[in-house]
Chains A and B, each alone.
Chain A
Amino acid sequence: MFDNLSTKLDRAFKTLKGQGSITEINVASTVKEIRRALVDADVNYKVAKEVTDKIKDEAMGREVLTAVSPGQLMVKIVYDELTQLMGGEKQDIVIKGEPAVVLLSGLQGSGKTTFAGKLASFIKKQNRTVLLVAADVYRPAAIDQLKVLGEQIGVEVYSEVENKNPVQIAQNAIQFAKQNNKKVVIIDTAGRLAVDEEMMREIEQVKRAINPSETLFVVDSMTGQDAVNTAKSFNERINFDGVVLTKLDGDARGGAALSIRAVVEKPIKFISTGEKMEALDLFYPDRMAQRILGMGDVISLVERA
Chain B
Amino acid sequence: EKTKTSFFDQLSKAVVGKSTVDEEVLDDLESVLVHADVGIDTTVKVIDRIEKRVARDKYVGTSELDRILREEIADLLQKNDSGSTAVLERADREDSGGQPFVIMVVGVNGVGKTTTIGKLAHRFHSAGKKVVLGAADTFRAAAVDQLIIWGQRVGVPVISHGMNTDPASVAYDAVKKGVEMQADVVIIDTAGRLHNKVNLMNELSKIKRVMQKVIPDAPHEVLLVLDGSTGQNAFLQAKEFTKATEVSALAITKLDGTAKGGVVIGISDQLNVPVRYIGVGEKMTDLQLFDRRTFVDSLFSKK
Q: How far is the CB of B58 from chain A (nearest CB, A)?
A: 29
Q: Is the CB of B141 within 8 A of A109?
A: no
Contact partner of B141 (CB less than 8 A), chosen from A41, A42, A139, A145, is A145
Contact partner of A225 (CB less than 8 A), chosen from B36, B118, B234, is B36
Rounded to whole angstroms, the CA-CA distance of A145 and B195 in the bound complex is: 23
From 211 to 227 in chain A, residues with beta carbon under 8 angstroms from any chain B beta carbon are 220, 222-227
Rounded to whole angstroms, the CA-CA distance of A107 and B231 in the bound complex is: 15
Taking CB atoms, residues of chain A closer than 8 Å to B257 are: 107, 193-195, 226, 230
Q: How many A-B pairs fall under 8 Å by CB?
A: 136
Question: Which residue from chain B places its CB closest to the CB of A43 in the assembled complex?
Answer: B231
Q: Is A249 an interface residue (CB 8 A)?
A: yes
Rounded to whole angstroms, the CA-CA distance of A225 and B263 in the bound complex is: 11
Q: Is the CB of A140 within 8 A of B258?
A: no
Q: Is B122 an interface residue (CB 8 A)?
A: no
Taking CB atoms, residues of chain A closer than 8 Å to B259 are: 224-226
Contact partner of A252 (CB less than 8 A), chosen from B112, B233, B260, is B233
Taking CB atoms, residues of chain B closer than 8 Å to A110 are: 110
Q: Is the CB of A42 within 8 A of B229?
A: no
A248-262 vs B, CB cutoff 8 Å, 1 = contact: the mask equals 011111011000000
Rounded to whole angstroms, the CA-CA distance of A275 and B139 in the bound complex is: 10
Q: Is A122 an interface residue (CB 8 A)?
A: no
Rounded to whole angstroms, the CA-CA distance of A227 and B31 in the bound complex is: 16
Q: Is the CB of B236 within 8 A of A251?
A: yes
Q: Is B39 an interface residue (CB 8 A)?
A: yes
Q: How far is the CB of A89 from chain B (nearest CB, A)?
A: 27
Q: Is the CB of A226 within 8 A of B229?
A: yes
Contact partner of A223 (CB less than 8 A), chosen from B36, B139, B140, B231, is B231
B47-66 vs A, CB cutoff 8 Å, 1 = contact: the mask equals 00000000000000000000
Q: Is A53 an interface residue (CB 8 A)?
A: no
Taking CB atoms, residues of chain A closer than 8 Å to B149 are: 140-141
Rounded to whole angstroms, the CA-CA distance of A138 and B256 in the bound complex is: 17
A226 in contact with B258 given A39-B40, A140-B146 (CB within 8 Å): yes
Q: Is the interface of B mostly helix, strand, loop or mixed?
A: loop
Contact partner of A111 (CB less than 8 A), chosen from B110, B118, B139, B234, is B110
Rounded to whole angstroms, the CA-CA distance of A142 and B146 in the bound complex is: 8
From 111 to 152 in chain B, residues with beta carbon under 8 angstroms from any chain A beta carbon are 111-112, 118, 139-143, 145-146, 149-150
Q: Is B156 an interface residue (CB 8 A)?
A: no
Q: Is B108 an interface residue (CB 8 A)?
A: yes
Q: Is the CB of B229 within 8 A of A250?
A: no
Q: Is the CB of B231 within 8 A of A109?
A: no
Taking CB atoms, residues of chain B closer than 8 Å to A251 are: 194-196, 233, 236
Taking CB atoms, residues of chain A closer than 8 Å to B140 are: 145, 275
Taking CB atoms, residues of chain B closer than 8 Å to A230 are: 229, 257-258
Taking CB atoms, residues of chain A closer than 8 Å to B236 are: 251
Q: How far is the CB of B151 from chain A (nearest CB, A)?
A: 10
Rounded to whole angstroms, the CA-CA distance of A171 and B162 in the bound complex is: 34
Contact partner of B145 (CB less than 8 A), chosen from A141, A227, A250, A255, is A141
From 247 to 296 in chain B, residues with beta carbon under 8 angstroms from any chain A beta carbon are 254, 256-260, 263, 282
From 24 to 57 in chain A, residues with beta carbon under 8 angstroms from any chain B beta carbon are 36, 39-42, 45
Q: How far is the CB of A293 from chain B (nearest CB, A)?
A: 15
Q: How far is the CB of A197 from chain B (nearest CB, A)?
A: 13
Q: How far is the CB of B153 from chain A (nearest CB, A)?
A: 8
Q: Is the CB of B282 within 8 A of A138?
A: yes
Q: Is B14 an interface residue (CB 8 A)?
A: no
Taking CB atoms, residues of chain B closer than 8 Å to A147 are: 142
Rounded to whole angstroms, the CA-CA distance of A108 and B254 in the bound complex is: 8
Q: Is the CB of A249 within 8 A of B194?
A: yes
Q: Is A198 an interface residue (CB 8 A)?
A: no
Taking CB atoms, residues of chain B closer than 8 Å to A226 are: 37, 229, 257-260
Rounded to whole angstroms, the CA-CA distance of A138 and B111 in the bound complex is: 17
Q: Is A229 an interface residue (CB 8 A)?
A: yes
Q: Is A247 an interface residue (CB 8 A)?
A: yes
| B40, B118, B142, B195, most chain A CB atoms within 10 A | B142
Q: Is B303 an interface residue (CB 8 A)?
A: yes
Rounded to whole angstroms, the CA-CA distance of A139 and B31 in the bound complex is: 36
Q: Is B221 an interface residue (CB 8 A)?
A: no
Q: How far is the CB of A1 from chain B (nearest CB, A)?
A: 7
From 172 to 199 in chain A, residues with beta carbon under 8 angstroms from any chain B beta carbon are 193-195
Contact partner of A222 (CB less than 8 A), chosen from B36, B39, B146, B230, is B230
Q: Is A268 an interface residue (CB 8 A)?
A: no
Q: Is B68 an interface residue (CB 8 A)?
A: no
Q: Is the CB of B35 within 8 A of A149?
A: no
Taking CB atoms, residues of chain A closer than 8 Å to B31 are: 45
Q: Is the CB of A141 within 8 A of B108?
A: no
Taking CB atoms, residues of chain A closer than 8 Å to B258 are: 193-195, 226, 229-230
Contact partner of B254 (CB less than 8 A), chosen from A149, A193, A249, A255, is A193
- Closest 6 pairs (CB-CB, A-B): A224-B231, A109-B110, A42-B231, A226-B259, A148-B141, A144-B142
- Give me the interface of A with B, judged by CB distance under 8 Å: 1, 36, 39-42, 45, 107-111, 113, 138-142, 144-149, 152, 193-195, 220, 222-227, 229-230, 247, 249-253, 255-256, 275
- Give me the interface of B with A, judged by CB distance under 8 Å: 31, 34-37, 39-40, 108-112, 118, 139-143, 145-146, 149-150, 153, 194-197, 227, 229-234, 236, 254, 256-260, 263, 282, 303
8 pairs, A vs B, C-beta closer than 8 Å:
A42-B232, A109-B111, A109-B227, A139-B282, A144-B146, A223-B229, A226-B37, A252-B233
